[in-house]
Structure 1
Amino acid sequence: MKIAIGIDVHKEKCATFAVYAGKEEPRKKNLDFLERFNADFRRFPSDAAGMVGLTNRLHGQDAYILIENSTKSRDVYWMLTNLGFRVTVAHAADLYRITRSKTKNDDNDAAELAGYMRRRLMREIEFAVAHMPSREVLVQRELCRFDINDRNDLTALKKQIRSHLLIRGMKLSRDYSDITCVLALRELKATGDHILILDAAKAESIKARKSQTEKMIRYRMEGNRMFDIVWSVPGFGILSAAYVTCMADDMTRFVDGRAFAASAGITPKLDESADRPKNCGISRRGDPGLRRLLCQATFVHINHADSFISEKYKRLKANGKHHNEALVACANSMARMIWAMVTHDRKYSADPTVMAVTRYLADSDEIEDEMEAAQTE
């Protein structure tokens, strides 16, 4: 029997619902099986034992499973795939019957997922299928996000330190561009201020962890051709090149450079209301970390490398575009260029001095401050 199954995945339990998906009318024994299945597996454990139990019950059935894309769903996807199931993962944003429902609960969500899967088997395409990375790529992503979180914490800590100094009317021997550099931290500890001493210790801890994480990322990316290609572009550091690599994962799944840029949410939305199409702001779909790091790498690139991208930035600024608009437009071009380079297996050719400067800036703690300052110009 051909069955469409929707599984609403949660950390401890999964909600499940199955519907008949055959072309002919279902027989009574088919309906009886589905009724018993839906009663027994209305809730079942999200662990390996639960998935094995699901497998045993569905033995001999032609089952097709749909789940929403989430962090937990990736574990479930690999467990079910390894057990021989055909599993489809949908982008949650496309599942309007669920996201816009006024009767949203786990049971209804599972039933809607089953309906989506049944209609897809009948060639009704209502959602985009999410790409499911390998376990190795998932580890790479987690390491990169660990580093991103540390960078965010360090940025917040810098603002906290500067705010504390201002409120207390305190000044260091000079105005450090990086308030967490070695000399600045030494002075902060010497002030005797308990808050500043704790902040300095926290900054040292974060920076040490960042250094260790980046070494792990570099080790994981050893021999990765896509990483080597992205890292060859002026403006990309270890983190940004690694994150672009593991988020793209397989560049062949994008039909062209625009599709890759769209996956990062840096292509314009299109408003076709009243048959008068017009471009709006960027879509902001996809991973915000990828979008942010692409813009950061592009920022370093346009300020320190000569290319068609940096020329485009100058042209847009000369035409009256705001810095942010011009930067995002150039990040779009950067994404398209990366797609072309990876697709054609070509590295970027840049002056070694330019590469050294841009790689240092891309991985430095000051780049966030420079980008923030540029937005106010």
Structure 2
Amino acid sequence: MKVNTISIDLAKNVFQLMGFTEANKGVFNKRLNRAQLKHFMQMQPPCRVVMEACYSSHYWGRLFESIGHTVHLIPAQHVTPFVRGNKNDSNDTLAIFEASRRPFIRFVPIKTQTQQETLMLHRLRERLLKTRTAVTNQLRGLLADIGLVFPLGIPAFNESMQALSLDTTLSVSVQWLVNDVYQEFKTLNLRIKAIEKQLKTDIEANSLGQILLSIPGIGYLNASAFIASIGSGQAFTSARDFAVWLGITPKQFASGNKSVMGGISKRGDQYLRKQLIHGARAIIVHARKKHDALSVWITQLSARKPFNCTAVATAHKLARIMWTLLQKQCHYTPQPVKVIT
């Protein structure tokens, strides 16, 4: 029987594979290691391959496509409802296949290696930022015990450390502690700046990145993260779908004639949502000084709503603008306020 679809449950070293005909009849159920999986897939005629969008799925997707297969990655939350019986590799593989047959499943585009490398830099930067915060907080707590307290913020911490490293009234132990932690702090700063420089260089050379950089509130970090995550937005059918995927649209509770809108759903990528909202906060502060349509809309909204509500609504607006411009392949141009006559 000719295999039409191969469903694969991915793992680190051991993989479960199931083959199905066009009539959804099972042909084989195999358990292979990494080397066996590569060889087995090379021997198979081109067919449809379905996998869960998870650990290493983009790597395997690129590999299988290079062999000639058609690969579909399914979001993990869409696979879970189809798992039947006990949790094991065979049932997971069957659930992946069943989910792939649903008519309205939205598949995840396979990321290029360049996109994954960019996201690696973003994740490393996030970890370094958390480490830097931990370092400063720990030293602040230790020095507070001996009466040394200084203002909050990275610039204030940097200035205070410079002053303390030259303070000869401190004991030898405290001087060593301050100098050691300050050296760690400076090393972390250098590593963060090196990553940011690389991200900025890469996005400035990217045509899609130039489109996003033209939008207010979208800096090189936001542009880099979004291009690496969504490309040109080809996975979404509309700007609304993109905003829903980001988790910045209200949750709906509806039954019969009653419909209640709650807080934002917070679905999708938490990092992208956080970065976009930070960008929205930045433009809210300066909106009153400008007179284009977007700034006027933000100013009017901020007069009625709390700051955080305005920030999320602005982020929603920016997400729609991003998707629209990426689809049209054009740069952002401030629009004049429409006068109703």
Per-residue CA distance 1:158-209 (angstroms, 9 max, x = gap): 333333333442134xx36425664333235345355443332222111101
Which residue number in structure 1 is paired with residue 72 of structure 2?
Answer: 88
Contact kept in structure 1, 2:211 and 2:326, CA below 8 Å:
yes
Deviations 1:66-89 (A, max 9, x none): 100013111111111111112210
Which is bigger in relative contact order (C-alpha 8 A, separation at least 6)? 1
Q: Does 1:339 align with 2:323?
A: yes
Aligned residues of 1:158 and 1:180 also touching (Cα < 8 A) = no
Q: Which moved more, 1:285-294 or 1:230-239?
A: 230-239
Task: State which of 235, 260, 264 in structure 1 corresponds to 2:246.
Answer: 264
Report the counterpart of residue 313 of structure 2 in structure 1. 329
Task: Choose the corresponding residue for 1:77, options 50, 61, 67.
Answer: 61
Q: Across the two proteins, how many residue pairs are aligned to each other?
A: 324
Counterpart pick for 2:208 among 226, 242, 245 = 226
Structure 2's unaligned 5+ residue stretches are 335-341
TM-score (ref. length: structure 2): 0.84
TM-score, normalising length: structure 1: 0.76
The answer to whether the 8 A contact 2:7-2:49 is kept is: yes
Q: Which residue of 1 is the match for residue 163 of structure 2?
A: 187
Partner of 1:241: 223
The one-character-per-residue Cα deviations of 1:305-348 (angstroms, maximum 9, x if unpaired) are 435444444434432x3332221111001111222333334434
8 A contact 1:179–1:185 mirrored in 2: no
- CA deviation profile, 1:46-84 (whole Å, cap 9, x unmatched): 35x52222332x34xx63221000131111111111111
Instruction: Measure, in 2, the Cα distance between the counterparts of 1:168 and 1:102.
Output: 60
Contact 1:10 1:46 in 2 (8 A): no
Displacement of 1:5 in angstroms is 2.3
Counterpart in the other structure of 2:337? none
Q: Counterparts in 2 of 1:1-377, with a 5 A limit?
A: 1-22=2-23, 34=27, 37-38=28-29, 41=30, 43-47=31-35, 50-56=37-43, 58-59=44-45, 63-98=47-82, 103-117=86-100, 120=101, 124-125=102-103, 127-172=105-150, 175=151, 177-179=153-155, 182-190=158-166, 192-305=174-287, 306=290, 307-319=292-304, 321-348=305-332
Equivalent-residue separation in structure 2 for 1:86 and 1:193 (angstroms):
62
Runs of at least 4 residues off by over 6 Å = none
- Decide whether the 8 Å contact of 1:188 with 1:200 is kept in 2: no
CA contact (8 A) 1:240 1:294 kept: yes
Deviations 1:280-299 (A, max 9, x none): 22222221111011011111
For residues 294 and 116 of structure 1, the distance between their equivalents in structure 2, rounded to whole angstroms, comes to 31
Name the amino acid aligned to 1:5. Answer: I
* Amino acid aligned to 2:88: N
When the two chains are superposed, the root-mean-square deviation of aligned CA atoms in Å is 2.7
1:226-250 deviations in whole A, cap 9, x for unaligned? 2112223343332122112222212
| Identical amino acids, percent of aligned pairs | 23
| Preserved CA contact (<8 Å) 2:217 2:283 | yes
Q: Contact (CA 8 Å) 2:7, 2:50: kept in 1 or not? A: yes
